[in-house]
Amino acid sequence: MAIYHGYVIIPHNTYLAWRGATLNNSYDVDNFPTVQPYQCWDYTAEFWHNLGFPENYPLTGGDDAKGVWTQRLNNVSYNGVQYFELVTAKESIKKGDVIVFNPSGWIGETGHIAFADEDYNGTDYIACLGQNQNNHAYVDVQTLSLSSFAGAFRSLEWTHTPPIVRPMSKFKWVLYARKKRESLY
Q: Is 94 within 8 Å of 116 (Cβ atoms)?
A: yes
pLDDT exceeds 60 at position 146: yes
The domain made up of 3-183 has a fold known as: endopeptidase fold (from Nostoc punctiforme) (3.90.1720)
Q: Is 112 within 8 Å of 136 (Cβ atoms)?
A: no
Instruction: Give the largest Cα separation in the chain, rounded.
Output: 71
- Round to whole Å and give the CA distance between 80 and 58: 8
pLDDT exceeds 70 at position 180: no
In tens, the pLDDT along 55-92 reads 888 877 776 888 888 877 665 556 677 788 999 999 99
Q: What is the pLDDT of residue 130?
A: 97
Give the DSSP letter string of 32-59: -SSSS---HHHHHHHHHHHTTPPTTPSP
- Round to whole Å and give the CA distance between 80 and 15: 18
Q: What is the pLDDT of residue 159?
A: 79
In tens, the pLDDT along 16-64 reads 999 999 999 999 999 888 888 999 999 999 999 999 888 888 877 776 8
